[in-house]
């Protein structure tokens, strides 16, 4: 049994002009159903489907970061709603206080250990930190041993495969190789923390979500990052 944190970008929920597409929410449900009987699962969701601060220089940084963090909370509510509809026990954990809107949960690890899906929204609750830092915080809270990063490509490449036709995909990488090659998978702090805690990272395409089960059957999918 693995203790998993799934990193889901806000963009992964988007489809065309639909900022949160029901088809993509259904894929999240299918992933959870696929894994929950044999693994413990948490989800860290981004907010890039609503707002990306670096694309809006007219906003003060702290304002842009705050909008982005609140976007992740909105996405967490969308995910909780679809899981509730499918009778999947789940809770939201956020560094912000929303009295009468989102119940504050203090026993996150206990609920996670019992099989509840924990949905993390709001990052670390401070300006200047990426969602990657939120992934590390979530991993600490639930004592995760695997991060599954769902992206819009099928693994880690030496350069952008959408731009360069000769881009080469890596099957395996060490944490040091990620840092030395300056591959932009997660920020430097997050990679170093994963190395320190010996948390494996699986990078794969969200649209190929059904292949996640193949990873647990020992098959090669995406890119695996470890020691």
Query: Cα separation of 133 and 7, whole Å?
Result: 11
pLDDT for the residue numbered 104: 85
Strands 169-170 and 172-174, bridge-based pairing: unpaired
> Cβ distance 73 to 36 under 8 Å?
no
pLDDT for the residue numbered 106: 86
pLDDT for the residue numbered 209: 93
pLDDT for the residue numbered 16: 87
Query: Cα separation of 34 and 17, whole Å?
Result: 29
Mean pLDDT for the stretch of residues 62-88: 94
pLDDT for the residue numbered 172: 96
pLDDT tens digits, residue range 107-154?
999 999 999 999 999 998 988 888 899 999 999 999 999 999 999 889
Mean pLDDT for the stretch of residues 91-97: 94
Domain count along the chain: 1
> 81-115: buried (b, 16+ CB within 10 Å) or exposed (e) per residue?
ebbeeeebebbbbbeeeeeeebeeeeebeebbeee
pLDDT for the residue numbered 162: 87
Read off the CATH number of the domain in which 173 is found: 3.40.1160.10
pLDDT for the residue numbered 1: 82
pLDDT tens digits, residue range 29-66?
999 999 999 999 999 999 988 888 777 888 888 888 89
Mean pLDDT for the stretch of residues 178-189: 91
pLDDT for the residue numbered 130: 85
Domain residues for 63?
Answer: 3-226
pLDDT for the residue numbered 113: 93
pLDDT for the residue numbered 35: 96
């Amino acid at each position: 049994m693995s203790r998993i944190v799934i990193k889901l970008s806000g963009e992964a929920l988007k489809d065309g002009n639909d900022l949160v597409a029901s088809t993509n929410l259904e894929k999240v449900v299918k992933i959870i159903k696929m894994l929950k009987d044999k693994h413990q699962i948490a989800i860290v969701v981004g907010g890039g489907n609503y707002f990306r601060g670096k694309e809006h220089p007219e906003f003060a940084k702290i304002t842009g970061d705050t909008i982005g963090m609140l976007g992740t909370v909105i996405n967490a509510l969308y995910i909780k709603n679809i899981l509730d509809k499918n009778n999947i026990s789940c809770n939201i954990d956020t560094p912000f206080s929303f009295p009468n809107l989102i119940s504050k949960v203090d026993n996150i690890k206990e609920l996670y250990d019992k099989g509840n899906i924990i949905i993390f929204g709001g990052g670390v609750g401070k300006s200047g930190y990426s969602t990657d830092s939120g992934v590390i915080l979530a991993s600490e809270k639930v004592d995760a041993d695997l991060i599954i990063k769902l992206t819009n490509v099928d693994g880690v490449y030496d350069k952008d495969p959408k731009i360069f036709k000769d881009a080469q995909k890596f099957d395996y990488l060490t944490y040091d190789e990620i840092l030395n090659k300056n591959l932009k998978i997660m920020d430097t702090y997050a990679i170093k923390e994963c190395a320190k805690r010996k948390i494996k990272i699986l990078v794969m395409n969200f649209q190929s979500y059904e292949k996640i089960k193949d990873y647990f059957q020992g098959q090669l999918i995406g890119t695996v990052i470890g020691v």
